[in-house]
Amino acid sequence: MGLARQETGAARIGNTVYVVGGLLDGVPITATDSVEAYDVDSNTWSDVAPLPVPLDHMAAVASGGKLYVMGGFSGDFQARDEVWIFDPVANGWSGGSPLPSPRGAPWAVALGGKIYLFGGTDANDVSQASTFIYDPQEDQWVQGADMETPREHLTAAAVGPFIFVIGGRAGVSTAANERYHPQSNTWQTMAPMPTARSAMATAASGGRIYVAGGEIPILFDVNEVYDPQSDSWDCAESMALPRHGLAAVTLDDRILTPAGGTIQGLDPTAEVDSFVPEVIFADGFEFGDTSLWSVTVN
């Protein structure tokens, strides 16, 4: 990437991956408003319109051809409630309806035309179990059922009709894996992640969820795979470059993991790599398995 950063947000629209904001290297700690776009076909990065304000530890998610950036900090670890909406066609930002309450280090998932924002810290730096539900068409928020485990620096991914909210921390890291059903607005406790950690790179591919890296109590390189059908975990190949504070994005054949922190605390990188799950064909069905990490952009 053009800029080393960590505690970013990222999402894919078409064949473009957008990486927004993040913390920069150096003292004092500084957030950036920079937004870089990765063109999957040409394997190149370019700058697009910057965020209206510098942000880090925000949630970023794509829905309906637009990018939504929600909450986060601005280099000061003070939770915010702003919602910013990026239109790739116009290459510009507009404001959305604010969150019901400020949230720092939350996570968001788009499913069924709605955006679900989970957890994070409130204005008093207290980890929350909240579920906020946003309707992009109406630009309105409602509150959903709370998670069982309050946490921030968490992650989540959708498979089928469910959203699986995994890991995070509230002082110490958790292995919690809770399944949310948007249609019934209910939670169910699932098999915990083998390695408790927070600030991981997470993405769904081939019906499975890959959770790589993270931190607390150490910097992790582990890459664990969750199968929602069997409610079980397995291990995939470890990260080529262990990191935390990054967002993974599913491409057609691989999972892209741009930027992130290379030590616990602040040490951002501009490195970009990807994990390629091997696809095994058997009796007409596809089964995801582990394969390899490769550097995508130097």
- State pLDDT tens for residues 251-282: 999 999 999 999 999 999 999 999 998 764 44
Q: Which residues are CB-neighbours of 228 under 8 A, at least 6 positions away?
A: 159, 160, 162, 164, 179, 190, 207, 208, 209
Residue whose tokens read 């995508």: 296
The domain in which residue 206 lies consists of 9-297
Distance CA 78, CA 71 (A): 10
CATH code of residue 136: 2.120.10.80
Q: In the predicted model, is pLDDT for residue 148 greater than 50?
A: yes
Evaluate whether residue 204 is within a structural domain: yes
pLDDT digits (tens, 9 = 90+) for 13-62: 999 999 999 999 999 999 999 999 999 999 999 999 999 999 999 999 99
Q: Residue 293 has what pLDDT?
A: 62
Q: Residue 284 has what pLDDT?
A: 43
Q: What is the mean pLDDT of residues 220-236?
A: 97
Q: In the predicted model, is pLDDT for residue 213 greater than 80?
A: yes
DSSP classification of residue 276: E
What are the start-end ranges of the E strands in 40-138?
44-48, 59-63, 66-70, 83-87, 92-95, 107-111, 114-118, 131-135
C-alpha to C-alpha distances, 46 to 32, 35, 50, 63, nearest whole angstrom: 16, 9, 12, 22
Q: Residue 254 has what pLDDT?
A: 96
Distance CA 226, CA 181 (A): 17
Evaluate whether residue 14 is within a structural domain: yes
pTM: 0.94
C-alpha to C-alpha distances, 139 to 71, 83, 84, 97, 134, nearest whole angstrom: 15, 10, 11, 6, 7
Q: What is the full DSSP assignment across 188-206?
A: EE-PPPSS--BS-EEEEET
Evaluate whether residue 83 is within a structural domain: yes
Q: In the predicted model, is pLDDT for residue 141 greater than 50?
A: yes
Q: Residue 21 has what pLDDT?
A: 98
Evaluate whether residue 156 is within a structural domain: yes
Evaluate whether residue 2 is within a structural domain: no
Q: In the predicted model, is pLDDT for residue 290 greater than 90?
A: no
Evaluate whether residue 1 is within a structural domain: no
Q: Residue 281 has what pLDDT?
A: 41
For residue 18, the surrounding DSSP H or E stretch is strand 16-20
Gap between the terminal Cα atoms of the chain: 8
Q: Residue 125 has what pLDDT?
A: 97
pLDDT digits (tens, 9 = 90+) for 69-94: 999 999 999 999 999 999 999 999 99
pLDDT digits (tens, 9 = 90+) for 6-16: 999 999 999 99
Q: Residue 288 has what pLDDT?
A: 46
Do 189 and 146 form a contact (C-beta atoms < 8 A)? no
Q: Residue 298 has what pLDDT?
A: 36
User: How many domains is the chain built from?
Assistant: 1
Residue whose tokens read 């952009």: 297
